[in-house]
Amino acid sequence: MDVKIAESWKTALQEEFDKPYFSQLVDFVKSEYLTKTIYPPGNFIFNAFDKCSFEDIKVVILGQDPYHGAGQANGLCFGVADGVAIPPSLRNIFKEINEDLGKPIPKSGNLERWATQGVLLINAVLTVEEAKPASHAKQGWETFTDAVIKKISNDCNNVVFMLWGKYAHDKGAVIDTTKHLVLKAPHPSPLAKGYNGCQHFSKANDYLKQVGKAEIDW
């Protein structure tokens, strides 16, 4: 199947795109976009992949589901476009960066600047119906993103995986910890406890420096 995705990813994932489950997933997603309000906009479904090439990955941040409110989801997990109110989880992430690295808290929740530095901001499920969280779960997206994580683990070296919350922890089970750094913390949602103080951003940069890669300007 020919999927509109960045060339480096098309090469890396072609085998996945050719599997029967992926064709079924595409049929499901297309019919949903035709009949309901679905986020993110169709051209942003693979935005995380388009903004961060396969060969450039330094860090993977794993979310669960796109935002399900109007104008929020843009295909980068936890991020929102310029001018959109910063959601609570992202506010906590920015607070952690401020405490961990001393960086000022941004006025915009646009995370493209992370993506273009090699941060893959990927949700486990890439689409969602308006006002219905997890409505596109168990349709094939999880199988696809499991394959993405496994591909990165197998074919890349010295990648930092930031896994926040039990769902992400479980999804990270396929990562080879002998060649990558896996950082785990509670989810940054204000409803969870214990995320702030995880120091993942300084730990990631320390590791990248150790392995001879440029640090991320968080």
What is the structure's pLDDT at 198?
98
Give the residue-averaged pLDDT of 68-83.
Answer: 97
Distance CA 35, CA 16 (A): 27
Share of the chain above pLDDT 90, in %: 98
Distance CA 76, CA 212 (A): 26
Rounded to an integer, what is the distance from CA 103 to the centroid of its chain?
A: 22
Beta strand segments in 44-143, E: 59-63, 119-123, 128-129
What is the structure's pLDDT at 4?
85
Give the residue-averaged pLDDT of 124-136.
Answer: 98
Distance CA 73, CA 90 (A): 13
What is the structure's pLDDT at 216?
98
Catalytic residue, candidates 65, 176, 206, 217 = 65
Share of the chain above pLDDT 70, in %: 100
Q: Answer yes or no: 65 catalytic.
A: yes
Give the residue-averaged pLDDT of 134-146.
Answer: 98
Tokens for 91?
């506010």
pLDDT digits (tens, 9 = 90+) for 148-190: 999 999 999 999 999 999 999 999 999 999 999 999 999 999 9
Give the strand pairing for 38-39 and 119-123.
unpaired
Number of alpha carbons in the 13 Å side-chain half-sphere of residue 106: 24
pTM for the whole thing? 0.97
CB 61 within 8 Å of CB 149:
no
What is the structure's pLDDT at 3?
86
| Phi-psi region at 116: left, alpha or beta (left = phi > 0; alpha = psi -120 to 50) | alpha
Give the residue-averaged pLDDT of 57-73.
Answer: 97
pLDDT digits (tens, 9 = 90+) for 42-61: 999 999 999 999 999 999 99
The answer, yes or no, to whether residue 62 has pLDDT greater than 90, is: yes
CB 84 within 8 Å of CB 90:
no
> Which residues face 77 on adjacent strands?
none
- Taking the alpha carbons at both ends of the chain, their separation in whole angstroms is 36
